[in-house]
Amino acid sequence: MRIAMWSGPRNLSTAMMYSFGNRSDFAVMDEPFYAAYLAATGDDHPMRSEILAAHETDPQQVAAQCEQPGTPHLYMKHMPHHMLDGFPMDWAKDCVNIHLIRHPARVIASYTAKREAPSFDDIGFGQQTALYNKIGGLVIDSADIRADPEGMLRKLCAAIDLPFDPAMLTWPAGARPEDGVWASHWYGAVHQSTGFAGAEGPLPTLSGTGKLLLDKALPYYDQLYRQRIT
């Protein structure tokens, strides 16, 4: 089984990668198209030069890596906005495609704490909805996972015909070998964790450009939210 887990940034995606990576029957890949995306766009992201130096920048080579089997399974953490026009997507046809979502108010607040003034494209809601409309797949909401990790992971595993493994609920603190080089900037909180955090509190209140970005993202989130596993 090859799982392509699609999400925007700040969506519980690293915790989910650690969850599946803690299973003995999964290998994992961390945002394999990130360096290719940066090389093609020229976008100025944190640690850009380090990412380009450490990771494959040819999207055709990355796609070939994504077609390799795991041990026996492979879990890939992907971001839809990394898949630029012209990047190969045939590798995803035989994957179990899952779309991980999070309320945009939480995404925007969390992203802004790490990188100022995100654009609509940076947070990925438009690209994720377009990808879902194109390839389909399952949808799972990060809030549901945090509220009931075992219950939701059992439901997800059942939906993809994968036996649940209790090892998915905890992992060792600290970095993991499969982390992208960008982990030192983005993964501080999850490196301190040993499992999923509890349910989140009230939604953050946004103003100014953050509120405008929220208003634009909400319809896309709502479309996917209605399709989520419950």
Query: Which pLDDT value is given to residue 116?
Result: 67
Query: Which pLDDT value is given to residue 102?
Result: 95
Element (H, E) at 6: strand 2-6
Q: Indicate if the pLDDT at residue 4 is higher than 80.
A: yes
Q: Where are the domains of the chain?
A: 2-225
Q: What is the pLDDT of residues 137-147, one digit of tens each?
A: 999 999 999 99
Is this model's pTM higher than 0.85 or not?
A: yes
Q: Indicate if the pLDDT at residue 113 is higher than 80.
A: no
Please name the residue ranges forming H helices in 86-207: 104-114, 120-123, 125-135, 142-147, 149-159, 183-186, 188-191
What is d(CA 32, CA 11) in angstroms, rounded to the nearest whole number? 17
What is d(CA 28, CA 168) in angstroms, rounded to the nearest whole number? 13
Query: Which pLDDT value is given to residue 10?
Result: 81
Longest dimension (CA), the chain: 48
β-strands 2-6, 26-30: how paired? Answer: unpaired
Q: Torsions phi, psi of 92, nearest 5? A: -85, -10
The radius of gyration of the chain's CA atoms, rounded to the nearest angstrom, is: 17
Q: What is the pLDDT of residues 11-69, one digit of tens each?
A: 899 999 999 999 999 999 999 999 999 999 999 888 999 999 999 999 999 999 999 88
CATH code of domain 2-225: 3.40.50.300
